[in-house]
C-alpha cells in the first residue's frame, strides 16, 4: 500500500486568507494536508523569526471542521513549529506556501513572507514551493490552486536539490488565457519608493511608504517578464547569499592587510 503524500501548507496572508483555503482544498485531493499559518496578515515580514518572545498555537476550525493551526508568529515560525514540533516524528514530504495574494517577483522576493515560509522549509530539508497570484485586485485562485496540485506532485516525486526551493508566480488571467509555463531567473528591479509625509488629527507628522516597481530586465526568462507575457513563472532560488562572481575580485583588494 502506498503511503499518502504528507503535505505541509503555510502562508503569510494568515490562516483566514482565501488563498490558503483554496490551496488546502486542492492539495487535499492528493495527500494528507497539515496547515500551520500565522493567525493574522504577515506580508512583507521578510525572513523574521520570533526569538525574544514566546509563541502560542491554537487549532483553527472552518464550519466546525478542523482546518489547521494558527500561530501568533511569522511565516517562518509557522513552518519551523510544524516541522520541529507538530510533525517531528513524521515530517512532511513537501511544503507549499501560499497562495499569496500579490506578486513575489524580482526584488519583492527579499521582502516576501510567502517565500520566507518556503525558505524555512528548505532550511529544514523539506522540498518547498512558494506560490503567488500576481494581483492586488480581486483574486481568483482556481487556476493557481490547480497548478499548485500538479507541481506539488512533481516536486514530491523528484525532490529538489538541497537548499533550493521553487518560487512560483501565476498571472491573474483565466485558465484559457495562460500562455505557458517557464523556468525563470529573479529579475533585477527597483522600487521607486519613498515615505509620504502626512499629518495625524493631532497635527503630528507620520510617514507612509508608497511607490512603484520598475523592472530593469527584458529577457523572456525573467520572472516578471514571464508574468507580463501571461506565463506561469518558476524560479529556483536558494538561501546561499554568497556572490561567488565577486569573490576573486575581492581577493585582489588585499583585505588581509587590513588587520
Site residues (CB under 8 A) for its own copies, limited to 150-189: 150-151, 154, 158, 161, 163-164, 167, 178, 180-183, 185-186, 188
**Binding residues for its own copies restricted to 218-247, rule: CB under 8 A:** 232, 234-247
What contacts 241, CB < 8 A, 6 or more positions away?
none
Name the one range near its own copies by CB under 8 A: 27-35, 93-101, 131-139, 191-199: 191-199
Q: How far apart are CA 13 and CA 19, in angstroms?
A: 8
**Binding residues for its own copies restricted to 57-76, rule: CB under 8 A:** 57, 74, 76
Q: Which three cell numbers stand for residue 150?
A: 500538479
Question: Can you spell out the DSSP letters for 101-137?
Answer: ES---TTHHHH-HHHHHHHHHHHTT--EEEEEE--SS
Give me the phi and psi of 175, to 5 degrees please. -50, -40
Strand, coil or helix: 85: helix
Q: Which three cell numbers stand for residue 39?
A: 493567525
The one among 1, 2, 3, 52 contacting its own copies by CB under 8 A:
52
Q: Is 212 in the site for its own copies (CB under 8 A)?
A: no
Name the one range near its own copies by CB under 8 A: 19-27, 31-39, 93-101, 198-206: 198-206
The one among 209, 214, 218, 229 contacting its own copies by CB under 8 A:
209
Q: Is 49 in the site for its own copies (CB under 8 A)?
A: yes
The one among 50, 87, 173, 228 contacting its own copies by CB under 8 A:
50
Question: Can you spell out the DSSP letters for 16-41?
Answer: T-HHHHHHHHHHTTTEEEEEEEESS-
CA-based angle 241:237:85, to the nearest 5?
Answer: 90
Q: Whose Cβ is closer to its own copies: residue 63's or residue 252's?
A: 252
**Binding residues for its own copies restricted to 95-124, rule: CB under 8 A:** 107, 109-111, 116, 119, 123
The one among 4, 25, 136, 207 contacting its own copies by CB under 8 A:
207
CB of 32 to its own copies, least distance (A): 22
Amino acid at each position: 500500500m502506498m503511503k499518502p503524500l504528507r503535505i505541509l501548507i503555510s502562508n503569510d496572508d494568515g490562516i483566514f486568507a482565501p488563498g490558503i483555503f483554496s490551496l488546502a482544498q486542492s492539495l487535499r485531493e492528493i495527500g494528507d494536508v497539515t496547515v500551520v499559518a500565522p493567525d493574522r496578515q504577515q506580508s512583507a515580514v521578510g525572513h523574521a523569526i520570533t526569538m525574544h518572545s514566546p509563541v502560542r498555537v491554537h487549532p483553527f476550525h472552518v464550519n466546525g471542521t478542523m482546518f489547521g493551526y494558527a500561530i501568533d508568529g511569522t511565516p517562518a515560525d509557522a513552518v519551523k513549529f510544524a516541522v520541529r514540533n507538530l510533525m517531528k516524528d513524521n515530517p512532511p514530504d513537501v511544503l507549499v506556501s501560499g497562495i499569496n495574494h500579490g506578486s513575489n517577483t524580482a526584488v519583492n522576493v527579499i521582502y516576501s513572507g510567502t517565500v520566507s515560509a518556503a525558505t524555512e522549509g528548505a532550511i529544514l530539508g523539506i522540498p518547498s514551493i512558494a506560490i503567488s497570484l500576481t494581483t492586488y485586485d480581486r483574486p481568483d485562485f482556481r487556476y493557481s490552486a490547480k497548478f499548485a496540485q500538479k507541481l506539488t506532485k512533481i516536486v514530491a516525486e523528484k525532490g529538489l536539490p538541497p537548499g533550493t526551493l521553487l518560487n512560483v508566480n501565476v498571472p491573474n488571467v483565466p485558465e484559457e488565457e495562460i500562455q505557458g509555463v517557464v523556468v525563470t531567473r529573479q529579475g533585477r528591479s527597483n522600487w521607486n519608493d519613498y515615505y509620504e509625509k502626512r499629518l495625524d488629527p493631532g497635527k503630528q507628522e507620520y510617514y507612509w511608504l508608497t511607490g512603484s516597481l520598475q523592472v530593469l530586465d527584458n529577457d523572456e526568462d525573467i520572472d516578471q517578464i514571464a508574468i507580463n507575457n501571461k506565463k506561469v513563472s518558476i524560479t529556483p532560488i536558494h538561501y546561499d547569499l554568497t556572490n561567488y562572481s565577486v569573490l576573486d575580485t575581492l581577493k585582489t583588494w588585499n583585505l588581509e592587510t587590513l588587520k
